[in-house]
Amino acid sequence: MEAKSDIAELRRLIDLAERVVVFTGAGISTESGIPDFRSPGGIWTQQNPIYFQDFVASETARRETWRRRFAMDPVLRAAEPNRGHRAVATLVRKGKVASVITQNIDGLHQASGVPAEQVIELHGNTTYAHCLTCGQRYELEAIRVAFERDEAAPHCKWCDGLVKTATISFGQSMPMEAMKRAQRETLAADLFIVAGSSLVVYPAAAFPEVAKQNGATLVIINREPTGLDELADLVVNRSIGEVLGGAVGVN
């Protein structure tokens, strides 16, 4: 399909829909300059991932986890929402999109104005930390200053539990509450838009399949083909900002 007509088709599908779910992956954040951690050549394929069990068991692993996190800090702090994020936020504000389900951990949907309660984070969030025992939230800036001073992994000041970014690590179970909400929202959607996910990581990749089986229209916007393209009603292999921004009328 030509560039103009697929944007027009997406606009038509959005207009027709009553309840849209947007499912986002790394591809929407790479347009803000955040590297795709899982892609070939990405950070996670160059370094061995640190498994959750090792984080819990070993001070050395915890220190290395925090060292890597703060090495990424300049990139994460410099990243701002792009045209694709703004288009999604506009659809949320208009009441078209009830929920954004995301595999991203960068908080850019919230930064673009989507209320936090409408963002369902399947892999957590790396912009803050929490105690693994009592759940107390910690901001990263104070942890960073202390870490740069003595290279010690932080402990909770209330219960002495381990403090970790609020992400889901390799080897850590999926967040039950987020998964349940994502399932509910997926079943309630009549239009399901995938933006920037190659749909390879399960169980996350099951959502568009379930949406389609449940009767929703499925749209996939991704630079590369995905394993679910055959199932989709519309596939667009171009920039998310261009396609979603064009369809929603956001620059």
**159 scored as a contact of Zn ion (CB under 5 A):** yes
- Answer for the pair 124, 105: CB distance below 8 angstroms, yes or no: yes
**166 scored as a contact of Zn ion (CB under 5 A):** no
Query: From residue 126 to residue 145, what is the string marking binding to Zn ion with x (rule CB under 5 A)?
Result: -----x-xx-x---------
Rounded to an integer, what distance in angstroms lies between the CA atom of residue 143 and that of residue 145? 6
Rounded to the nearest whole angstrom, what is the least distance from the CB of residue 124 to Zn ion in the complex?
17
193 pairs with which residues across the strands?
Answer: 22, 219
218 pairs with which residues across the strands?
Answer: 192
DSSP 104: -
**182 scored as a contact of Zn ion (CB under 5 A):** no
**For Zn ion, which is the closer residue by CB, 119 or 156?**
156
Residue 245 belongs to what H/E stretch? Answer: helix 240-248
The size of the chain, in residues, is 251
**156 scored as a contact of Zn ion (CB under 5 A):** yes
Rounded to the nearest whole angstrom, what is the least distance from the CB of residue 161 to Zn ion in the complex?
4
Rounded to the nearest whole angstrom, what is the least distance from the CB of residue 129 to Zn ion in the complex?
11
191 pairs with which residues across the strands?
Answer: 20, 217
**Active-site residue identified among 85, 109, 123, 130:** 123
Is there a catalytic annotation at residue 123?
Answer: yes
Rounded to the nearest whole angstrom, what is the least distance from the CB of residue 166 to Zn ion in the complex?
13
Count of Cβ atoms closer than 10 Å to residue 84 Cβ: 29
- The residues annotated as belonging to the active site are 123
Q: Which residues contact Zn ion by CB under 5 A?
A: 131, 133-134, 136, 156, 158-159, 161
